[in-house]
Amino acid sequence: MKIGLGVTGGIAAYKAAEIVRLLQDRGIRVQVIMTEAAQEFVRPLTFAALSGEKVVTGMFSRGEEHEPNISSAIEHIAVAQSIDALVVAPATADVLAHFAQGIANDFLTALYLATTAPVVVAPAMNVNMWNHAATRANLEILRKRGVKIVEPGSGYLACGMTGAGRLAENEAIIAATLEALGASQDLSGETVLLTAGPTREKIDPVRYLSNRSSGRMGYALAEAALRRGARVLLVTGPTAIKPPSAAEVTQVESAEAMRNAALELLPESTIVIMTAAVADYRAKNPGSQKIKRKGPMSLDLEPTADILKEIASRKGSRLVVGFAAETSNALENARQKLTGKNLDMIVVNDVSREGVGFDSDRNAVTILTCDSLETIDVPETGKWDVAQRVLDQIVRLRDHPKSAVKI
Ligand code: CTP
């Protein structure tokens, strides 16, 4: 998901930097658009560094020859089509007036007209400007048009006066943005315990046994759950990707460490989702020195703890969801795991298929739940969509608890 964040010229412009960070924490890409006046308050470089994206600073960015660049002249159309919401924070009285009257004389105001995405504005200005009949009338026009207005707070203002006009708290702006993005907060109040990634079982100081797992499915679920309002406790094995920064992360290596971390966090959780590709076996006697090559050798293995089974046996009123990577008889095996391990839901992926599953951004899964013999097919799509579908089923099971189907 991507939002356009318009920053206009007010003392509160610096507060937009924190808004960029909070949105990114939730996995949302941010394209910052600064008005000329905003650039008097904060340098575009600050936003470029924070957002990792080029900041739009004008309608006609100039190329090396100082000639207006033709592609930049129509960039507002491209940005308008690429964003899922336009958020303006802080929004001055001037930009509200431009939006209300449809005057498009810079990038941000042209973007407002060109986008069909939902629009959120967080006004900030002097109290008299806020109370002025012109501002009130413009706000009324915008409100009627469906623009979401995050009302400013009251207090001491930078101009020395006291009253309404302070930029709303960041949390309120983020909540309005998430709402505009259609991210319902149906997991607010829930704490989701998630395992993700592979585990590594030591053979000697330089070698280990592991599973093919990028952690992407688990991290997508973590991000999606956060965006739907949950607190997320993420227990993860080693991966090459960055976990969502709003998740509370516990890094582990071995199955034993993952088990200990998960059991310790279990009491805090209300929903458990185990996506980790836990190694099923570990070396019985891992070497303390590097094992030398001396012709054929065999490795004595012993099973690791089945974390999912152990968690499910102590689940209480929690919902417990497992994942199953199968290469044959996927549904049959998954149904057995669902009932055998006392799970509420299992998400099966057939990892024998090309291009989905391991090390891919895409996945195709079948969801089995304890209350139905019907299966839910999620045909090949991005892992983000799969995560949303899994969370939809969790919310359904939570809101309509039914007894498990007897097979
Ligand atoms: N799992 C676990 N602890 C293990 C092994 C698996 O918690 N030691 C969890 C995984 O995170 C996943 C689910 O169990 O959610 C199913 O994993 P999978 O490897 O498909 O199933 P297993 O029960 O190990 O069965 P098998 O390997 O025989 O198919």
Q: What is the mean pLDDT of residues 351-378?
A: 83
Asked, for residue 380, whether it belongs to a domain, the answer is yes
Which of 118, 152, 180 finishes a domain? 180
pLDDT at 352: 74
In a shared domain, residues 173 and 238: no
Q: Is the CB of 310 under 6 A from ligand 1?
A: no
CB-based contact 394:346 (threshold 8 Å):
no
Q: Is the CB of 323 under 6 A from ligand 1?
A: yes
**Residue pLDDT, tens place only, 42-60:** 999 999 999 999 999 988 7
In a shared domain, residues 201 and 136: no
**pLDDT value at 72 more than 80:** no
Asked, for residue 407, whether it belongs to a domain, the answer is no
Residue nearest ligand 1's atom 18 by CA: 324
pLDDT at 353: 72
In a shared domain, residues 163 and 205: no
Q: What is the mean pLDDT of residues 132-153?
A: 95
* Distance between Cα 322 and ligand 1 center (Å): 8
Residue 322's contacts (CB-CB under 8 Å, 6 or more residues apart) are 274, 308, 312, 337, 338, 341, 343, 345, 346, 347
* Ligand 1 atom nearest to 305, measured from its CA: 8
**pLDDT value at 73 more than 80:** no
In a shared domain, residues 361 and 243: yes
Q: What is the mean pLDDT of residues 107-121?
A: 94
* Ligand 1 atom nearest to 195, measured from its CA: 11
In a shared domain, residues 99 and 214: no
* Distance between Cα 330 and ligand 1 center (Å): 13
In a shared domain, residues 163 and 141: yes
Confidence of residue 96 (pLDDT cuts 50, 70, 90): very high
Active site residue 159: yes
pLDDT at 328: 87
Confidence of residue 63 (pLDDT cuts 50, 70, 90): very low
* Distance between Cα 278 and ligand 1 center (Å): 6
**Residue pLDDT, tens place only, 149-158:** 999 998 888 8
In a shared domain, residues 138 and 276: no
In a shared domain, residues 288 and 195: yes
In a shared domain, residues 211 and 239: yes
**pLDDT value at 374 more than 50:** yes
Q: What is the mean pLDDT of residues 254-281?
A: 98
Q: Is the CB of 322 under 6 A from ligand 1?
A: yes
**Residue pLDDT, tens place only, 305-319:** 999 999 999 999 999
Q: Name the active-site residue from 17, 22, 103, 159.
A: 159
pLDDT at 270: 98
Which pTM value belongs to this model? 0.70
Residue that the structure tokens 């999620």 belong to? 378
In a shared domain, residues 7 and 104: yes
Q: Is the CB of 392 under 6 A from ligand 1?
A: no
Q: What is the mean pLDDT of residues 126-144?
A: 96
* Distance between Cα 8 and ligand 1 center (Å): 52
Q: Is the CB of 280 under 6 A from ligand 1?
A: yes
What are 171's two structure tokens?
A: 């949390």
In a shared domain, residues 239 and 293: yes
Which of 180, 211, 228 finishes a domain? 180
Q: Is the CB of 394 under 6 A from ligand 1?
A: no
CATH code of the domain covering residue 347: 3.40.50.10300
Domain hosting residue 259, numbered range: 191-399
Q: Is the CB of 334 under 6 A from ligand 1?
A: no
Mean pLDDT of the chain, nearest integer? 91
Confidence of residue 326 (pLDDT cuts 50, 70, 90): confident
pLDDT at 373: 85
* Distance between Cα 387 and ligand 1 center (Å): 19
Q: What percent of the chain has pLDDT over 90?
A: 71
Question: Which tops the pLDDT comparison, 159 or 265?
Answer: 265
Q: What is the mean pLDDT of residues 127-137?
A: 96
pLDDT at 162: 84
* Distance between Cα 256 and ligand 1 center (Å): 14
Q: What percent of the chain has pLDDT over 70?
A: 94
Asked, for residue 116, whether it belongs to a domain, the answer is yes
**pLDDT value at 219 more than 80:** yes
pLDDT at 338: 95
Q: What is the total count of domains within the chain?
A: 2
* From 199, 274, 327, 341, mutation site for ligand 1 pocket: most ligand atoms within 8 A of C-beta: 274
pLDDT at 108: 96
Asked, for residue 374, whether it belongs to a domain, the answer is yes
Residue 17's contacts (CB-CB under 8 Å, 6 or more residues apart) are 42, 46, 47, 50
**pLDDT value at 179 more than 90:** no
Q: Is the CB of 357 under 6 A from ligand 1?
A: no
Which amino acid appears at position 74 of this protein?
I
pLDDT at 405: 67
**Residue pLDDT, tens place only, 32-41:** 999 999 999 9
Which amino acid appears at position 268 of this protein?
E
φ, ψ for residue 386 (rounded to 5)? Answer: -60, -45
In 157-296, beta strands by DSSP E: 162-166, 191-196, 201-204, 207-209, 231-236, 248-251, 271-274, 281-283
Which of 180, 210, 235 finishes a domain? 180
Asked, for residue 133, whether it belongs to a domain, the answer is yes
